[in-house]
Structure 1
């Protein structure tokens, strides 16, 4: 009797794919923050653009991979490396939380509320647009 495969999150190849992607996404996000810093008490535009762009790219990637077939083999590795690794480390929701908290601390609650809400809603919209873009490029999956 064949032994069942180890859960994906415990496989060294899956962990390596995510780690490799993280080595790409993290320095890109960091460098963008260096190139485009924001002033305390103002809208954190760099983080906002990073997160919305990442949401679009993730929607596009995941829909495109889904339309290519089951989440196995190279599609699974691409999802782990590009989706979880690159885009997971490129987007920065922990920074969104810190920046929102700092805006409140700096007595900018209106900007903080707007930033938090706009980030979530723009992220959802960007994901939907990414999914739609992938659907336009590859309209159907052959289920046979």
Structure 2
């Protein structure tokens, strides 16, 4: 039950984040969909980072993985938004722009997901310090 609730709350958060970016970076149907591209590339990186890092820790509860992965990132990024943008661009006579957008989305998403996996893995497997040398004075 906790996982379902985490996904529902995460979905609200991810959708809100997506709407915020879409409103901040609006575009017409015949223009390059910068907001959708940014959203999907950031989502690919973050999911890769989480899967390579936080998800590998046995102490990470499944409801956290479900809430962030399926909930937040599942509602934040969508393949349907990419395909809708490609269809709109193509329909507006911008086939070259549609092809460019699809290529950047696919290749960029793969590269950023791989980078996220690598960085997450490096962070997750970095040894934790056993002592604090400044006795907390920097806080």
Matched, 1:41 2:41: no
Q: Counterparts in 2 of 1:57-136, with a 5 A limit?
A: 57-69=46-58, 74-136=60-122
Deviation at 1:38, TM superposition (A): 1.1
CA distance, structure 2, for counterparts of residue 67 and residue 17 of structure 1: 19
TM-score (norm 2): 0.84
Name the count of aligned residue pairs.
127
Residue of 34, 37, 40 corresponding to 1:51: 40
Q: Gaps (5+ residues) in structure 1?
A: 1-11
Deviation at 1:54, TM superposition (A): 0.4
Q: Gaps (5+ residues) in structure 2?
A: 127-139
Secondary structure, aligned partner of 2:32: coil
4+ runs deviating over 2 angstroms: none
CA distance, structure 1, for counterparts of residue 96 and residue 14 of structure 2: 31
CA distance, structure 2, for counterparts of residue 78 and residue 64 of structure 1: 13
Matched, 1:13 2:15: no
CA distance, structure 2, for counterparts of residue 76 and residue 37 of structure 1: 36
Deviation at 1:74, TM superposition (A): 4.5
CA RMSD between the two structures: 1.7
TM-score (norm 1): 0.81
